[in-house]
Amino acid sequence: MKPQRETLKAAAVNSYSLIFFIKIMEKPIDLNSNFKLNNLFVMRRS
């Protein structure tokens, strides 16, 4: 197990979450679909 690689992976997931959050703020209509995508990333993370 390589801790540095795990840290990079976690940072990438956080970046995706931030991007989704920004997109949700820009397009409130797509909130439901973006929320589902975000849940997919969270579930894949654990």
Task: Give the whole-number percent of the chain exceeding pLDDT 90.
Answer: 0
Domain holding 32, by residue range, is 3-45
Bigger pLDDT: 29 vs 22: 22
**Mean of all residue pLDDT scores within the chain:** 76
The residue ranking higher by pLDDT, 26 or 18, is: 18
**pLDDT for the residue 42:** 76
What distance in Å separates the CA atoms of residue 16 and residue 7, rounded to the nearest whole number? Answer: 14
Q: What are phi and psi of 13, to 5 degrees?
A: -65, -40
CA torsion 28→29→31→36, rounded to 10°? Answer: -170
Average pLDDT on 1-6 reads: 77
Question: pTM of the prediction?
Answer: 0.38
Is 34:18 a contact under the CB 8 Å cutoff?
no
Residue found under tokens 């929320």: 35
Domain count, the chain: 1
